[in-house]
């Protein structure tokens, strides 16, 4: 039998080996993949598929039919690309939402100005399991109409939500479309007030109720509030309500939890005016708070913009945002795990020396987590912006991952329409026009573009110059104040980040 004291050097050596084994055992692989060509390529949603892989939808101007196109990437369970497609015509298409259908095909949703009735129309593309085109539909009137989220129903039809300027009573209303399995319209609904109202996400409750989350300036306490709508399968609004404080509060995603509560994730600048924080609320099916405190807020020294949140099998919640607080570059993909009660636990940042965006989460088999967004960091990208994904089996500190990096350069050919190399000028709306106090300028343009606007009097004198703030859905927004502007007609000129003139028009000040 061993007796006596072990030498201190041996104790330290054994302790070192123990810690080393613990550190090695803590290493988990993080599969980072990027996809796209030499221009801008973004992802707006990812979902797990029945074969254990993932399907992504976004927008590209690297390849395809026209100026921009829907961009689709199908991967295996670790993010390895299986196939990619583009869909669109000779002008602009953007992709925002995907649903795997009951026959294992796909429904891809976004908007188009290559097809349809108006300036932009809601655009739905139906394919088989390999992305082979089956049919397409457009929805909308003579003005702008956008599709941002889609779900399939038990009868194999679809509910689609987004925004419309063609019908309704305001400067953009929530747009709801109920379609059958072939994409033919059963009914449509516009919801909102006299301000700006938009639906960003929809989830289903027992197939007979839709819960819609978005943003409103028509109702609520602050400048902008979260907007939640409860609607039945006949298009009847059973409840609509707002959540927010005195500043800007936006809802990006809504999901149903295992106990039939509603998990809503978004952003707010109420805590630190001028800087956004990630926010999460949980509601019951009557849209009442279920947490105390009612709002879970992640705030930091900079900006942290919330995009998505998903419940895991153990009841914990994975959240995603875009943050410039504690990462490697400008902005990083910011992941956190929270307890079921909503308290933040921990989470990594993923990114390089430039900027990454965190947009959408999918949870696959065995709770594998797939995070999707975009990146312009050297080493990750083939072009200006590429789709950027991270696949992990557990959440831990970034330094504890072993990174496996793949770059997939894409040259997807045109699936529909006629190829065109022309540059399409951005669409512009100013409301109200004539301006009585304050007006909003909304620019629908190329993905990843940064615009500014110069305003000139009828004598040619420049009276305003201002940047436009990038918003969701490829839109840029600015505000024009009447203060200091004499009544009359003014001309605006929109320039891109290179200083090139890309659009112009006029408005009136009363």
Q: What is the pLDDT of residues 154-188, one digit of tens each?
A: 999 999 999 999 999 878 999 999 999 999 999 99
Smallest Cα–Cα separation from 120: which of 448, 443, 495, 432? Answer: 443
pLDDT tens across 466-493, in order?
988 877 787 888 889 988 899 999 989 9
**Is residue 300 scored above 50 in pLDDT?**
yes
User: What is the CATH number that goes with domain 427-509?
Assistant: 2.60.40.10
Cα separation, 57 vs 70, whole angstroms: 7
Place of tokens 């950027």: 388
Query: What pLDDT shows up at residue 374?
Result: 96
Name the token pair of 401.
């991952």
Average pLDDT over residues 45-63: 95
**Residue 437 is encoded by which pair of tokens?**
């106090």
- H-helix or E-strand spanning residue 22: helix 8-25
Work out the angle at residue 497's Cα, subtended by the Cα atoms of residues 453 and 93, and round it to the nearest 5 degrees. 90
Residue 21's CB is within 10 A of a number of other CB atoms, namely: 10
- Outline where DSSP puts E strands in 419-500: 427-431, 438-444, 452-456, 462-467, 469-470, 475-481, 488-495
Domain coordinates in residue numbering, the chain:
28-409, 427-509
pLDDT surpassing 90 at residue 416:
no
In a 3-state reduction of DSSP, which class is residue 365?
helix
The pLDDT value given to residue 128: 96
Quick one: 28-409 is in which CATH superfamily?
Answer: TolB, C-terminal domain (2.120.10.30)
* E strand spans, 37-172: 41-48, 54-60, 69-75, 81-87, 93-100, 106-112, 121-127, 133-139, 145-152, 158-164
Is the link from the previous residue into 434 a cis peptide, with omega within 30 of 0? yes
Give the pLDDT confidence score for residue 5 in this predicted structure. Answer: 44
Share of the chain above pLDDT 90, in %: 63
Q: Which of 345, 346, 406, 411 lies closest to 380 in space, CA to CA?
A: 406
The whole-angstrom separation of Cα 199 and Cα 215 is: 7
Does the pLDDT value for residue 314 go beyond 80? yes
Task: Indicate the burial class of 272 (C-beta count within 10 angstroms; 0-12, 13-18, 19 or more).
Answer: middle
pLDDT at 53: 96
Q: Which region, left, alpha or beta, applies to residue 116 given φ > 0 means left and ψ of -120 to 50 means alpha?
A: left
Verify cis geometry, omega within 30 degrees of 0, for the bond prior to 432. Answer: yes
Please, which pLDDT band fits residue 413 given cuts at 50, 70 and 90? low
Quickly list DSSP for 3-15. Answer: -SPPPHHHHHHHH
- The 3-state DSSP class for residue 16 equals helix
Most confident of 210-214, 380-384, 431-435, 480-484: 210-214
Mean pLDDT, residues 112-121 taken together: 91
User: 8 falls in which pLDDT band (50, 70, 90)?
Assistant: very low
| Calpha distance 468→445 (Å, rounded) | 12
Nearest to 337 by CA among 323, 316, 306: 316
């Amino acid at each position: 039998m061993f007796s006596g004291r072990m030498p201190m050097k041996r104790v330290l050596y054994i302790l070192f080996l123990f810690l080393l084994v613990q550190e090695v055992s803590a290493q988990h692989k993080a599969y980072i993949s990027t996809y796209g060509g030499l221009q801008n390529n973004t992802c707006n949603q990812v979902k797990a598929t029945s074969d254990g892989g993932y399907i992504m939808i976004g927008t590209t101007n690297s390849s395809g039919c026209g100026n921009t196109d829907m961009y689709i990437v199908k991967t295996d369970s670790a993010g390895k690309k299986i196939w990619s497609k583009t869909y669109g015509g000779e002008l602009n298409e953007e992709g925002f939402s995907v649903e795997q259908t009951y026959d294992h095909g796909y429904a891809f949703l976004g908007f188009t100005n290559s097809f349809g009735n108006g300036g932009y129309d809601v655009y739905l593309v139906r394919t088989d399991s390999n992305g082979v085109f089956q049919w397409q539909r457009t929805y909308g009137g003579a003005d702008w109409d956008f599709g941002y989220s889609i779900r399939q129903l038990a009868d194999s039809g679809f509910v689609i939500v987004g925004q419309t300027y063609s019908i309704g009573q305001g400067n953009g209303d929530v747009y709801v479309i109920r379609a059958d399995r072939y994409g033919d319209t059963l009914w449509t609904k516009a919801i909102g007030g006299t301000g700006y109202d938009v639906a960003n996400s929809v989830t289903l409750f027992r197939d007979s109720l839709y819960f819609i989350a978005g943003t409103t300036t028509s109702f609520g306490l602050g400048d902008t509030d979260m907007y939640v709508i409860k609607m039945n399968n006949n298009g009847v609004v059973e409840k609509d309500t707002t959540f927010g404080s005195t500043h800007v509060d936006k809802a990006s995603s809504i999901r149903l939890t295992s106990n039939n509560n509603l998990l809503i994730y978004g952003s707010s600048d109420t805590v630190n005016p001028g800087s956004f924080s990630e926010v999460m609320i949980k509601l019951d099916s009557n849209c009442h708070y279920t947490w105390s405190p009612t709002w879970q807020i992640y705030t930091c020294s900079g900006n942290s913009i919330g995009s998505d949140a998903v419940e895991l099998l153990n009841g914990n919640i994975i959240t995603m945002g875009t943050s410039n607080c504690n990462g490697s570059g400008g902005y990083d993909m910011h992941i956190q795990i929270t307890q079921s009660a909503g308290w933040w636990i921990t989470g990594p940042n993923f990114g390089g020396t430039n900027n990454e965006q965190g947009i959408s989460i999918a949870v696959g088999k065995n709770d594998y987590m797939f995070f999707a967004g975009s990146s312009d960091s050297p080493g990750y990208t083939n072009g200006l912006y590429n789709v950027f994904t991270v696949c992990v089996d557990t959440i831990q500190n970034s330094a504890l991952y072993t990174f496996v990096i793949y770059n997939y350069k894409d040259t997807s050919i045109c699936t529909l329409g006629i190829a065109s190399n022309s540059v399409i000028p951005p669409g512009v709306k100013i409301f109200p026009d004539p301006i009585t106090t304050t007006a909003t300028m909304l620019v629908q343009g190329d993905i990843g573009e940064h615009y500014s606007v110069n305003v000139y009097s009828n004598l040619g004198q420049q009276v305003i110059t201002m940047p436009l703030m990038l918003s969701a859905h490829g839109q840029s927004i600015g505000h024009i104040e009447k203060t200091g502007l004499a009544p009359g007609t003014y001309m605006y000129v929109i320039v891109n980040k290179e200083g090139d003139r890309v659009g112009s028009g006029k408005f009136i000040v009363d």
